[in-house]
A and B are shown apart, each in its own frame.
Chain A
Amino acid sequence: MSDARGSEEPTPEEREGFRRLPRERTPGDLLEERVVRALRARDLLAGRPGSDSSRGRWRPPSWLVAAAAVVLFLSGVGVGQWMGVRTTTGAFRAVREQDAARAADQVQAAGSAYVRALTRFAQLSPDSRPEEVTQGREAALGALVAASEILVLLEPGDPALGALVRVLEERRGSPPDTTSTHRVYWF
């Protein structure tokens, strides 16, 4: 299919180099769910038979709500501070201004970014100064706590989420705050 000019043709070694390059890479599983949800939100997919998410009111499974909320807050609070990324305020503004489906897309995108950032952090940690590692770990944990508390507000009757908040608060060394309904986080 190629038709390069003769004098510019790659050498056999160069061709072999190009041939060896990978042609496929699988993105994270979250992306497939994100795409499917975006298609559903636009009425381009009907959803699985029996799913209540097919048309109209969309109700994600609780694990997805949990994952989405966790990654949103983690991306803003934890890694945002640690990696010097300070776009969370804008992201929140955008989330408020858009409909729920788009907001959920953003949550999932932020989650993917968060997981990548944490992976990078984990890779760099062995070669980093201990205080930097501690700071990053604390930031990530603080964000987890914040996210889990918001999750409880979303699903107040979910015992698993309640247990999650308690475990995380204990891990942080402070008692869980079960009375407040609002908490302000600064980025």
Chain B
Amino acid sequence: MDDDSREAGDRELAERVQRGGDEEAFRALYRRHTPYLYQFVLRLLDGREAEAEDVIQDTWLRAVAALSGFRWESALRTWLTGIALNRAREILRKRGRWPGALPNTVPDPGPPPRVPDRIDLERAISALPPGYRAVLVLHDVEGFTHREISERLEIAVGTSRSQLHHARRAVRQALHRDQRGDE
């Protein structure tokens, strides 16, 4: 399904939910977007499934309650992602782990010599402090710009760049360790 037809479908389903509380329409929306949102949130919350499920539930509750105010100036998925991101940050703040810190003195080991194994990469990302992890996931995995990240995380663009720099360095270090271990 291309983006345009998906957006048109989203809009029609969302209007049915908003107008009449149509459960079938909601379930269709849920099934379209939840797998993406769940993976995204799970990555931000370092794989904690129970918390990720709570975030998904809250995201849909907030989204459906606020549907009438959604202007369709962005894709529905983008809007939902923003809600989920905010909710995940709230949880990380409650845990006292947002944004977290990385030592500035970590030397850059250089890029890994080969394509990183998926599991190693997931592990390296999950080991990052939450704030750094969010920036790396949003930028390098999801393709957001620093400006978009700064707006969503309420940080300066420079902070986003700096955190990405340190996050990549930490990920590279972890991948070097893993790849050395494989040899």
Report whether over half of chain B's contact residues are helix, strand or loop; otherwise say mixed.
Answer: helix
Instruction: Give bound CA distance, A109 to B24, whole Å.
Output: 23
Known: A8-B168, A35-B57, A109-B53. A18 touches B141 (CB 8 A): yes
Sort chain B's interface into a size bin.
35 or more
B-side contacts of A20, CB under 8 Å? 115, 118
Contacting residues, chain B, for A4 (C-beta < 8 A): 139, 146, 161, 164
Residue of B nearest to A44 (CB): B64
Which A residues touch B121, using CB under 8 A? 17-18, 21
CB distance from A83 to the nearest CB of B (A): 13
**Which of B53, B64, B111, B168 has the largest number of chain A CB atoms within 10 A?**
B53
A47 to B146, alpha carbons, bound, how many Å? 41
Partner of B57, one of A8, A28, A31, A40: A31
| Complex interface: chain B residues within 8 A of A116 (CB) | 49-50
**Chain B residues positioned under 8 Å from A25 (CB to CB):** 35, 38-39, 42
Given A18-B121, A24-B35, A27-B52, check contact A2 B23 (CB 8 Å): no
B106 surroundings in chain A (CB, below 8 A)? none
Contact flags (1/0) for A1-21 with B, using CB distance below 8 Å? Answer: 111110010110110111011
Closest CB-CB distance, A3 to chain B, in whole Å? 5
A2 contact from B35, B38, B114, B143, Cβ within 8 A: B143
Closest CB of chain B to A141's CB: distance in Å? 23
Q: How far is the CA of A20 from the CA of B122 in the complex (A)?
A: 11
Which residues in A have their C-beta under 8 angstroms from that of B60? 35, 39
Number of interface residues of A (CB under 8 A): 42
Q: Is B20 an interface residue (CB 8 A)?
A: yes
Q: Is B79 an interface residue (CB 8 A)?
A: no
A38 to B34: give the CA distance in the assembly, Å.
16
- Give which listed residue, B20, B111, B144, B161, contacts A11 with CB less than 8 A: B111
Q: Does A1 lie within 8 Å of B143, measured CB to CB?
A: yes
Complexed CA–CA distance, A3 and B144 (Å)? 9
Residues of A within 8 A of B172 (CB): 14
Known: A17-B118, A38-B61, A116-B50. 17 other contacts (CB 8 A): A1-B143, A2-B144, A8-B168, A10-B168, A21-B121, A22-B118, A24-B36, A24-B39, A25-B42, A34-B53, A35-B60, A36-B26, A36-B27, A38-B57, A45-B22, A45-B64, A48-B24
Interface residues in chain B, defined as those with a beta carbon under 8 Å from any beta carbon in chain A: 17, 20-24, 26-27, 30-31, 34-36, 38-39, 42, 49-50, 52-54, 56-57, 60-61, 64-65, 111-118, 121-122, 139-141, 143-148, 161, 164-165, 168, 172
Give the interface of A toward B (CB within 8 A).
1-5, 8, 10-11, 13-14, 16-18, 20-28, 31-32, 34-36, 38-40, 42-48, 105, 109, 112-113, 116
